[in-house]
Amino acid sequence: MIQAIGLTSNPRQELPPAVDDVSFEARTGRVTALLGAQGAGKTTALRLMLEIQQGRGVTYFRGRPLHRITHPSREVGVLLGEVPGHPGRTVRGQLRMLCAAAGVPVQRADDVLEVVGLVSLRDQRLGTLSRGMDRRLGLAGALLADPHTLVLDDPADGLSAREGGWLRGILRAHAAQGGTVLFSTADAKEAARTADRVVTLEAGRLVADQEAGDFARTRLRPRVAVRSPHAARLGALLSKEARAGQRSIEVVKEDGNRLSVYGSNCADIGETAFRHGILVHQLADEIGDAGPAAAAPEPSPEPEPTPSPVPGIGASGEQQAAAGDVLPEPGAEIGTEAEPEPGAMSTTKNLIPLATTDRPVTTDRLIITDPLATADSAAVTAPRPPATPSPLPPPISVRPARSPLRPLRYELRRAAGVGTGYLTTAAVLAVSAVLCVFLARSGHTPQPLLLAAWPQELPLPPAALGAGLLGALAFGEEFRHPALAADWGTVPRRLGLLCAKLLVAAVTALLLSLLVLASDAALLHLVYGEEVAKVPADWLSLSASWIALVAGCAWAGVLAGGVFRSTTAGLAAVLAVPIVVVPLVQKALEGPSVRSAAGLPGRLRDLALVQWPFGVERYLAGGVRMVAQPVGSALMLSVTALLCAYLLTGMRGRAR
**DSSP per-residue codes, 104-164:** --THHHHHHHHHHT-GGGTTSBGGG--HHHHHHHHHHHHHTT--SEEEEESTTTT--HHHH
Q: Enumerate the domain spans of the chain.
A: 2-210, 221-298+326-354, 407-655
The DSSP H or E segment spanning 258 is strand 258-262
322 has pLDDT over 50: no
Question: Poorest-confidence range of 132-146, 232-246, 360-374, 432-446?
Answer: 360-374
310 has pLDDT over 60: no
C-alpha 272: how far from chain center: 51
> Do the Cβ atoms of 472 and 571 come closer than 8 Å?
yes
Q: What residue type is assigned to position 208 of the chain?
A: A
CA-CA distance, 491 to 414, in Å (whole number)?
A: 14
Which has the higher per-residue pLDDT, 486 or 447? 447
Which has the higher per-residue pLDDT, 605 or 275? 275
Average pLDDT, the chain: 79
Helices (H), 30-71: 42-49
Which has the higher per-residue pLDDT, 118 or 532? 118
CA-CA distance, 151 to 184, in Å (whole number)?
A: 8
Which has the higher per-residue pLDDT, 468 or 302? 468
The confidence band for 376, taking pLDDT boundaries of 50, 70 and 90, is very low
Question: Poorest-confidence range of 208-217, 457-466, 478-487?
Answer: 478-487
1 has pLDDT over 70: yes
**Whole-structure pTM value:** 0.72
The confidence band for 534, taking pLDDT boundaries of 50, 70 and 90, is confident
pLDDT score of 355: 34
pLDDT score of 409: 95
Which has the higher per-residue pLDDT, 653 or 526? 526
Average confidence (pLDDT) over 516-522: 92
Average confidence (pLDDT) over 424-434: 95
> Do the Cβ atoms of 335 and 280 come closer than 8 Å?
yes
Average confidence (pLDDT) over 461-486: 90
DSSP state, residue 482: -
463 has pLDDT over 50: yes
pLDDT score of 354: 31
pLDDT score of 512: 96
374 has pLDDT over 80: no
Share of the chain above pLDDT 90, in %: 47
pLDDT score of 24: 96
Q: Is 6 helix (H, G, I), strand (E, B) or coil?
A: strand
Which has the higher per-residue pLDDT, 142 or 14? 142
**DSSP per-residue codes, 150-215:** EEEESTTTT--HHHHHHHHHHHHHHHHTT-EEEEEES-HHHHHHH-SEEEEEETTEEEEEEEHHHH
Nearest alpha-carbon partner for 432 in 499, 549, 535, 518: 518
Question: Poorest-confidence range of 100-104, 169-173, 356-360, 385-389?
Answer: 356-360
CA-CA distance, 278 to 380, in Å (whole number)?
A: 29
pLDDT score of 620: 57
Tell which CATH classification among 3.40.220.10, 3.40.50.300, 3.30.420.10, 3.30.110.30 matches the domain 2-210: 3.40.50.300
Question: Poorest-confidence range of 5-19, 37-51, 328-342?
Answer: 328-342
Strands 367-368 and 361-362: antiparallel
Q: What is the edge-to-edge ordering of all strands in the sheet holding 395-396?
A: 22-26, 2-9, 55-61, 395-396
Q: What pLDDT, in 10s, does the model give residues 569-628?
A: 999 999 998 888 878 877 776 666 556 555 655 665 565 445 555 555 555 555 555 555
pLDDT score of 635: 85
248 has pLDDT over 80: yes
Give backbone dihedrals phi and psi of 304, rounded to 5 degrees, phi first: -65, 140
The confidence band for 271, taking pLDDT boundaries of 50, 70 and 90, is very high
CA-CA distance, 434 to 451, in Å (whole number)?
A: 12
